Amino acid sequence: MPRIDRRTFVGQSLAAAGVMTFGTGATRPIASNDKIGVSVVGAGGRGGSHINAWLKDSRTEILYVVDVDENAGNRRCDMIAGEQGKRPTFVTDMRRTFDDKSVNAVSTATPNHWHALCGVWAMQAGKDAYIEKPICHNIAEGSALIAASKKYQRVCQTGTQCRSSSAIQNAVKFMSEGGIGDVKFARGLCYKRRKSIGSLGDYPIPGEVDFNLWSGPAQYSDPRNTRGRFHYDWHWQRRYGNGDSGNQGPHQTDIARWGLGIDSHPVSVVSYGGRIGYQAERKDPNYVDAGDTANTQVSIYDYGDKCIVFETRGLEVKASADDELNRLFDSSKGNKIGVVFYGSDGFLVQRSYTHCEAFDKNFQPIKTFKGSGNHFGNFLDVCESRKMDDLNADAREGHLSAGLSHLGNISYYLGEDNKVSAEQAAETLKDIKSLDDNGKTLGRTIRHLEDNNVDLSKYPISMGPHLKFDPNKEIFPDSPTATEMVTRNYREGFACPKAADV
């Protein structure tokens, strides 16, 4: 496909898309029939959930499936044909569907490094966009999405479906009405076992995959695939994914931020951890896993008067590692992922998408919240009504929550070579302002590693620098190196524009 100049493309596409401009600048796409025409971009595991959601909602028709893997895309098209009675068109390049005026909405479940560019291109072409979490691969991309949504008056929903769960909505409301007193601190937890993804190597690129399009905005110095399983395991390679802090994290940090009523980036961050335990798991001291994101990580976000801590544990979690938390979040009883809010009068725990529970100070349950929701439906409601305030997870919410994983990872990546003992880590954390007991959290993390037979003298954790962040300018005032990591170098033809240039 010839390279398209985006400004020309936008002009042509808005005209071609039959977009009407109203007095306020708000626009409404005109569908070719009375249905919302959808292009699903990325038809892997999560793309399948998008497809199922659109199939279930009579307001939509899936017009396109886009995947750079021919087999994955065609399989989905066959399935949709059976359900929808009409086979969508399969294409490998998303830009072809942005050119089609009958497409009103784009839903994207590509790997993370593609999310923002896909969303910006879609909105520039006049489409509404449902973008999976994390909606961006770096902080600058998140700002670009907000700008595009505003400039083109497009609906931009972040795929953090917990925002539409009635259990969590009601629990957040309960807290905002003082249900557990004054709440200033929340801990997000991702205790999700992640085994090694296999050794770092030079693996064939599957013949059915267009690797140029798959790589898109992500730099590669030579076209190699260094992981054994091509799909999904990109999550653990930082060029494409963001580790579990950017995979599971954006759900829990989003709930934490929402529950605490925080509407900005933090003013500082520090993160520590490592990709640890796989040498023992493989019984090979020299084993090098193909992933380069942390599987064990603690990030501390300071908002001045409030604080969020996010903990990732990829090794086996035993209840013994979590004695302090066990009364609220007992891992031995299956609590592996969630958020714990600490209030002056009690606690509130998010246990799942459909379940939250409040406790008094003595750990006695006081209220249970149950219920689900329809996040895809909320997106379609707003596509129809154009009442942007009704959207449950707009680009700004997505950006601020994805931003937490990016900030944590910037500190972690910058400190990767700063290997420290548990004592040295404790010494560093003593001086870092936080509403958590930094020493206790570190202690539980170290105990967890030891429980998993990690020899910390051979495989120590890394301690990232404590970085000040300017939440408005989105720069690290004391670290030009960290500020460089707010964006990335893009491949020609796949650059995500800056917010000012969308």
Which residue pairs, CB below 8 angstroms and at least 24 apart, start in 418-422? 418/462, 418/463, 418/464, 418/465, 419/460, 419/461, 419/462, 420/272, 420/460, 420/461, 420/462, 420/463, 421/456, 421/457, 421/460, 422/446, 422/456, 422/461
What's the min distance (Å) between Cβ of 21 and ligand NAD?
Answer: 29
Please, are residues 275 and 434 in contact by the beta-carbon 8 Å criterion?
A: no
Among 111, 119, 198, 497, binds ligand NAD (CB under 6 A): 111
Residue closer to ligand NAD (CB basis): 184 or 396: 396
Residue closer to ligand NAD (CB basis): 409 or 428: 409
Please, are residues 290 and 268 in contact by the beta-carbon 8 Å criterion?
A: no
Residue closer to ligand NAD (CB basis): 347 or 379: 379
Among 14, 31, 36, 43, binds ligand NAD (CB under 6 A): 43
Name the nearest CA neighbour of 224 among 207, 208, 242, 211: 211
For residue 251, give both structure tokens.
């759900």
Q: Does 47 bind ligand NAD (CB under 6 A)?
A: yes
Among 46, 151, 239, 488, binds ligand NAD (CB under 6 A): 46
What's the min distance (Å) between Cβ of 3 and ligand NAD?
Answer: 15
Q: Does 260 bind ligand NAD (CB under 6 A)?
A: no
β-bridge pairing 36-41 and 105-108? parallel
Q: Does 69 bind ligand NAD (CB under 6 A)?
A: yes
Please, are residues 463 and 438 in contact by the beta-carbon 8 Å criterion?
A: no
Residues binding ligand NAD: what is the number (CB under 6 A)?
Answer: 28
Among 10, 14, 17, 41, binds ligand NAD (CB under 6 A): 41
Residues near 270 by beta carbon (within 8 Å), at least 6 away in sequence: 299, 300, 411, 429, 432, 464, 465, 466, 467
Q: Does 348 bind ligand NAD (CB under 6 A)?
A: no
Distance of alpha carbon 318 from the chain centroid: 26
- In angstroms, what CA-CA distances link 378 with 60, 210, 216, 392? 13, 33, 30, 7
Q: Which stretch binds ligand NAD (CB under 6 A): 9-17, 62-70, 149-157, 311-319?
A: 62-70
Site residues for ligand NAD, 135-194, by CB under 6 A, read 159, 161
Site residues for ligand NAD, 442-481, by CB under 6 A, read none
Alpha-carbon distance 370 to 288, whole Å? Answer: 43
Q: What 3-state DSSP class applies to 195?
A: coil
Q: Does 240 bind ligand NAD (CB under 6 A)?
A: no
Q: Does 214 bind ligand NAD (CB under 6 A)?
A: yes
What's the min distance (Å) between Cβ of 392 and ligand NAD?
Answer: 13
Q: Does 54 bind ligand NAD (CB under 6 A)?
A: no
Alpha-carbon distance 214 to 124, whole Å? Answer: 21
Residues near 155 by beta carbon (within 8 Å), at least 6 away in sequence: 105, 128, 129, 149, 379, 382, 383, 386, 388, 391
What's the min distance (Å) between Cβ of 312 and ligand NAD?
Answer: 14
Q: What angle do CA 290, 415, 278 make, to 5 degrees?
A: 30
Among 10, 14, 40, 72, binds ligand NAD (CB under 6 A): 72
Alpha-carbon distance 20 to 26, whole Å? Answer: 8
What's the min distance (Å) between Cβ of 50 and ligand NAD?
Answer: 9
β-bridge pairing 105-108 and 268-274? unpaired
Residue closer to ligand NAD (CB basis): 240 or 469: 240
Residue closer to ligand NAD (CB basis): 181 or 228: 228
Q: Does 59 bind ligand NAD (CB under 6 A)?
A: no
Residue closer to ligand NAD (CB basis): 378 or 438: 378
Q: Which stretch binds ligand NAD (CB under 6 A): 38-46, 148-156, 252-260, 450-458?
A: 38-46
The H or E element spanning position 298 is strand 296-302
Q: What 3-state DSSP class applies to 479?
A: coil
Q: Does 213 bind ligand NAD (CB under 6 A)?
A: yes
What's the min distance (Å) between Cβ of 26 and ligand NAD?
Answer: 28
Site residues for ligand NAD, 408-447, by CB under 6 A, read none
Please, are residues 164 and 373 in contact by the beta-carbon 8 Å criterion?
A: yes
Residues of this chain that bind ligand NAD (CB under 6 A):
41-47, 66-69, 72, 94, 109-112, 114, 132-133, 159, 161, 213-214, 216, 231-232, 247
